[in-house]
Amino acid sequence: MTTATAGLTRLTASELAAALAAGEVSAAEATTAHLDRIATIDDRVGAFLHVDADGALAGARDVDDRRARGEALGPLAGVPLACKDVLTQRGVPTTAGSKILEGWRPPYDATVVARLRAGGVVILGKTNMDEFAMGSSTENSAYHPTHNPWDLDRVPGGSSGGSAAAVAAFEAPLAVGTDTGGSIRQPAALCGLVGVKPTYGGVSRYGLIAFSSSLDQAGPFARTVEDAALLHAVIAGHDPLDSTSIDAPVPPVVAAARRHDVAGMRVGVVRELAGEGYQSGVEQRFREAVDLLGRLGATVVEVSCPHFGYALPAYYLIAPSECSSNLARFDAMRYGLRVGDDGVAGVEEVMSATRAAGFGAEVKRRIILGTYALSSGYYDAYYGQAQKVRTLISRDFAAAYEQVDVLVSPTTPTTAFRLGERVDDPLAMYLADLATIPANLDGGAAMSLPCGVSPADGLPVGLQIMAPALADDRLYRVGGALEAAYVEQWGGPLATKGPPL
């Protein structure tokens, strides 16, 4: 790889897209540079489960041919991207980070993947994740852990840790992840990236291997707010193949990201999502971000959402209950792993042996929790009560949005923790999503924006911005204005300032 070609991996998606459109570089050259980067460093990072070099180069050459013919192309045509291994991609291994799907090659594309292809985005491969998106550190992958590029001894967050690490390590300028309880925003915060959970139903779930159907949502990882908005616009929109897809126009996220103005906006600081339990460095950077919003012209007030304190226990009844139902399809009869099929064992024995061998400990834990919560005699006491709490949380959001345009909090209580530090303490692991879960229960939109590094350890800190359903553009307006101010301070986006590997 030449020095000039290597420099392509340091460009933001917008910068690379401009160079491609101007003919300064070809899509094949940009793709090769990123594939070379992956080959050079991913043995240390572990961001990818499968690199589709041949498919990526074929897609890049197709973009170059179409551009040479003068065809109109999308704004991200030729830009490489890493895709979380929970979205089906025709003919490409898709495992959801689990041994139970090892070697499965889907016969169809997820709608998100189809829209990426239609937009000329080059998919480099499938990224590592916590098995079936159940985890906050990417240590629950059945294949290997992923390392945080800022400190290889620390986690990148989860469950979309592979996607976050790929962007943070300059292996891809963009990535797609999924967010069920914070699985885009939490790793974005820990890796110094912009990560967005769109409004539930704003991005199709067709072809997204389900964990919790009422919570799962795909969204973008990027180094800048504008890059995230460009990717959001490509993958969002109504899909008749998804019964939960919203039939409404995509909010004007790109224009909002480029506005760089929050004058007159009302920002609410959530009282219940700050203070006790948050690292001092995280709290410091959060308070500085809030002060900066005020200096940029926003009106900042404190808002109380009293039921947010019950979000974590409610989530860990609702999500496991839905996972218990969704994962029942992995029965060794139709596809995926099959164990104990020696011609003697009965169907139930084969199912039991396959699930014992194919599911990891965390997945089993959540299936058992969910099955218990849905069982006769306990449904009303557990799952039913959790859904009532969910309603109260949504009412808290609705009341807050009567007072303010967006809500803010730290994205995570801590910076990236060390690999292995929480693997034997599920509760400590679950607390990583303390601030992100409420937005999933409500269904609104939320973003994590880098707001600096902790003075204690030099690791990234994320600011969470939350907005009502279908008001995703507010995230990008606030995020874009803050980012512009930070760029003046830092001389560039935080994601471009990370320690090089």
The active-site residue out of 98, 137, 163, 183 is 183
Q: Where do runs of H (alpha helix) occur along 169-238?
A: 185-191, 225-235
Residue closest to 66 by CA, chosen among 141, 122, 139, 132: 122
Which amino acid makes up residue 311? A
Q: Is 84 a catalytic residue?
A: yes
Specify whether the CB–CB gap between 147 and 226 falls below 8 A.
Answer: no
For CA atoms 402, 311, 374, 384, give the dihedral sign: negative
The active-site residue out of 159, 204, 245, 454 is 159
Specify whether the CB–CB gap between 215 and 393 falls below 8 A.
Answer: no
Q: What is the DSSP letter of 87?
A: B
Q: Is 159 a catalytic residue?
A: yes
The active-site residue out of 14, 26, 84, 454 is 84
Count CA atoms closer than 13 A to 202's CA, side-chain side: 30
What secondary structure does DSSP assign to 59-115, as a single string?
HHHHHHHHHHTT----TTTT-EEEEETTB--TTS---TT-GGGTT---SS--HHHHH
The span from the CA of 108 to the CA of 212, in Å, is 21
Strand partners, 194: 222
Instruction: For residue 213, give the 3-state DSSP assignment.
Output: coil
The span from the CA of 386 to the CA of 390, in Å, is 6
**What are the residue numbers of the active site?**
84, 159, 183
